[in-house]
Each structure stands twice: as C-alpha cells, then as structure tokens.
Amino acid sequence: MDIPGKVVVITGASSGIGMATARRAAALGAQVAVVARSADVLNTLTAELNEQGATAVAFTADLRDPAQARHAITAAAERFGRIDVLINNAGQSAVGHVADVDLDAFRQIVELNVFGPVAAMQAAIPFMRANGGGVIVNVSSSVAKMQILGLGAYAATKAAISKLSATARDELEPENIRVLTFYPGQTATAFGHNALGSQQARQGLRGSLSGQPDAPELVAERLLAGIASETPEFSMHDQPSEMSKS
C-alpha cells in the first residue's frame, strides 16, 4: 500500500522507532495519528508535523489497558473517517533470567506487547472492513527468533505477537486486510533505558549485547518499505520487496 494520502495510526510514537516512523510517514504525505502515554511529547510532535504542512493528531493512551487502546484507535478512526494503516509499535522489555525474572514486570510487558496490539487490531478491523481493507503491521523483534540470556520474557512476548500476527494474516486475507510482522534488530533508542528489571540485570544484559545498533530513521524507512510492498514478514537486513509473500 502506498503511504501518500493514507491514514496511518502509529502507537509508541513519542520515542524511537515510532517517532521516526511518524515523521517519515508525514513527510511522505500520510495523515498521521500518534498514540502513546506522553501527551506533551505527542503534542510537540504533532505541532512540528502540522507546521510542516502535514495532518497529525495525538491520542493519549496507556496501551496496557485494552479499553484505553480501543478508545484511542476508535477516536483516531472517527477523526479521519477511516484507518488505512495501523502500526502496532509501542513496546517495552523486562530484563531478568527466567530463574528470577520479576513476574509483575513480565505481566506488564505481556499486557503491552501482546494484549495491546490485539486490542488495537480489534478496534481497527471494523473500520478497515468498512473501508474495503487495510494494512496492519505488528512490530516484533529479531529476538523472537533467538535465545538471549536475560531476555526470555521479552522474547516470549515478541514470539507471541508474531504468531498472532501470522494467524490474523490468514484470517483477514479474504477481507483484503494485510497483516504484516516486522522484526527490527538492535536500534539506537531509549528502549534499553526504558526496560523493566533490576539495575543489575539490565547492566548484565548491556554487557552481553554486541554490534552496532541501527538508527531509528533507518528502521522507520524499512518499516514503511515493508508496508509499501505488503511483505508479510520482514526484518532490517533483507529487502522487503524481495521476501516471500507467503
């Protein structure tokens, strides 16, 4: 789906990958709805985009709460009259070995990384059906396919959303709703700083991660390229248009 002129809803747009995606989508001519908890940051972002001639609106929600997720997505759809693209990007990590990971932190990231996108999809799908179709992108992570010590809980949430995304793809394909899954790798955002878990666990993880992180602007480009080519499953280091559409 081409981005110019489309209504694009982006969750987790107050930071990192989501903010870079909102800026890039607006620059390409999309009408943008941005969702997160940080109202001030979202309002500054939409003011910036609107000054540049885009149409951008902010909706504040704690996406761990399905009622707030549904309310924000519905408000965005009603504001623009439709949703063409939903990008489920908001996410958080919880760090800790399986032997002692904090279960309250684990529960919180299940609510955000798994229930949040499902609630947002459930709110957006009726509007997409009414409009004859749409595109949903669920932002997973490369760690969904790996074992990294201390990231088991987070990786489990991303593996869960990947599986839900693939199943929804087949369920919604007859209705012209394309459900895509994106697997970014390590990206230079506040994500590590924002992770739940003890200081000790987070420091231990930092020491075990290697490699140069991607810039969020580059990740945003790849995400939007994946939407343009409607590639079902794509990551940073492949060409979305060259990947299988199965």
Ligand X SMILES: NC(=O)c1ccc[n+]([C@@H]2O[C@H](COP(=O)([O-])OP(=O)(O)OC[C@H]3O[C@@H](n4cnc5c(N)ncnc54)[C@H](OP(=O)(O)O)[C@@H]3O)[C@@H](O)[C@H]2O)c1
The rounded distance, in Å, linking the Cα atoms of 81 and 33 is 12
Token pair listed for 105: 């932190």
Q: Is 154 a catalytic residue?
A: yes
The CB-of-51 to ligand X minimum distance in angstroms stands at: 21
Which of residues 129 and 243 has its CB atom nearest to ligand X in the complex? 243
Structure tokens at 39: 């109202």
Catalytic residue among 59, 80, 106, 154: 154
Q: Is 224 in the site for ligand X (CB under 6 A)?
A: no
Helices (H), 134-198: 152-172, 191-194
Q: Which stretch binds ligand X (CB under 6 A): 59-67, 127-135, 166-174, 238-246?
A: 59-67
Residues 87-146 that bind ligand X (CB under 6 A): 89-92, 112, 139, 141
> Under DSSP, is residue 238 helix (H, G, I), strand (E, B) or coil?
coil
Q: Is 38 a residue that touches ligand X (CB under 6 A)?
A: yes
b/e string for 151-167 if b means 16 or more Cβ within 10 A? bbbbbbbbbbbbebbbe
Nearest approach in angstroms of CB 194 to ligand X is 4
Please report whether residue 37 would count as binding ligand X according to CB under 6 A.
yes
Q: Residue 217, by phi and psi: left (phi above 0), alpha (psi -120 to 50) or beta?
A: alpha
Task: Rule CB under 6 A: say whether 162 interacts with ligand X.
Answer: no
Interface with ligand X includes 62 (CB under 6 A)? yes
Among 3, 8, 18, 232, binds ligand X (CB under 6 A): 18
- Using CB atoms within 10 Å of the CB of residue 42, give its burial: 0 to 12 exposed, 13 to 18 middle, 19+ buried: buried
Residues that bind ligand X (CB under 6 A): 12-18, 36-38, 61-64, 89-92, 112, 139, 141, 184, 186-187, 189-191, 194
> Annotated catalytic sites, by residue?
154
